[in-house]
Each structure stands twice: as structure tokens, then as C-alpha cells.
Structure 1
């Protein structure tokens, strides 16, 4: 996961030394300062738990459910300064492709990104959402 983040951020991050390195600062979703992501000190243990969860569930969950859960669990940790969304989408798409499913293209335009972020926020808070 760190290598994936390094690849997706090496050319876009201002400080190249941050590419693929777990963050050491608190971060939160844009506009949701009252709901920070995982505390930096808890990032490594939570990533270890994610890897363990992945090992235990990759072959037991339906591939689409596994890929979506992997994506959501990764994004909820938000382990890096930059590129968490891109890294999560790559993880999800690798999981889908390994099981013979097509990859998902999350459009980078403003409207689609807003919808994507809204759905992630709803999923993180445990809310069901409509297909609209």
C-alpha cells in the first residue's frame, strides 16, 4: 500500500519525501474538522489491522463486497498526507481485477468527485444512501 501511494504521489506531492510515508499530522475530511481521520500515532496499527482483515476476508467475501470494504476501510484510516483516494481506488480496482471484474473509473470532474466524497462520508457514518 505504501508503494502504491508512492507511485501515485511521487510526481504530484510538493515534498517528495512524503510519498508513501505514513502521515505524522492530524487530518480530516474537507469541511469536517470535528471528524478527524485516525490519529497519526494509531495509523501503523490500524494499517496492520487492515492487512490482517484483508488476509482473512479476501477469499471469503464476495469479490465486489471485499473490494468496496477494502476501499472504505483504507479511506477511513487516511494513512498518507496525499493520494489516499487514488491509492484506495487502486486497491479496490486491483481486488476487482484479481477476481475477473472490470475496474471502476471514478471520474475526476468536480460533480462526480463531490458525489464520490458524499457517498464515502455517508458510508463512513454508517448511513444507507440512494442510488441517485
Structure 2
């Protein structure tokens, strides 16, 4: 029958490991392994960091150059930038076209035009009904508006 060990008790493997580390320390003059999780064959965190700083992957001495961890990635166009680009066209754009470009519903497009384009960005948003009866929205330049 197996029983649980008390915190003060050691297994035979732990006893042998401790005596081996102590024997190595006496014989070789090295300190015993500080971190038992890593074991005697593995490097500790500080040793690994030190090795990374002093050598490159081929084992040659590094010249103090550290490669950036992040790569520059071209950012995708946001839905807001797509809407603003379409609104800047001289003909303007319809709600339907903006719905298709963004995937938004009509009330979301109108809310964006009111809250962001007019209020937050302070752009001069003009809406006109064309000959075909369709309402078109566009951003008018401040110089032309005056």
C-alpha cells in the first residue's frame, strides 16, 4: 500500500540526487544546482539569458545587435477609412454603397455619418437628392463651402 510523504520526508531519488550534487560540489568545486525543477543538466533562467546575450545561434560572439521582436506589418484599411474615402469623391456615395462596403446596417451608417463625420471629425457633410431620387452624401471642402 502506498502512502503520502510528509513534507520533511524524502524519497530515495531525492536523497540520491542531493548526495550526488553535494559530491559533485565537493569534487568539482561547483555549487549545487539552485533550481531542482531544472535539474543538473539544464541551465537556469539567468544562465540562458546570459548565453543569449553573449552568443548568437551559431555560438559566435554577438556584436551587441538585438533583433526587434515585432515585425512591421501593413495595416489593413479600417471601415471608417473606407467610408471617409468614399465620402470624399465628388459624386458622393449612397447609404446602400456604404452598407455594402462596410457590412453595416443602414442605421449604423447614418449614425457614423452623424456622430463621427460631422461631430467628432468636424467635417462638412453634405447630402443631396439626385435626379434619380437617391440621396447621396459627400464631404465638402471648407474652402469650397465659403
TM-score (norm 1): 0.25
Larger Rg: 2
Decide which structure has greater helix share: 1
Q: Which of the two has greater strand per residue?
A: 2
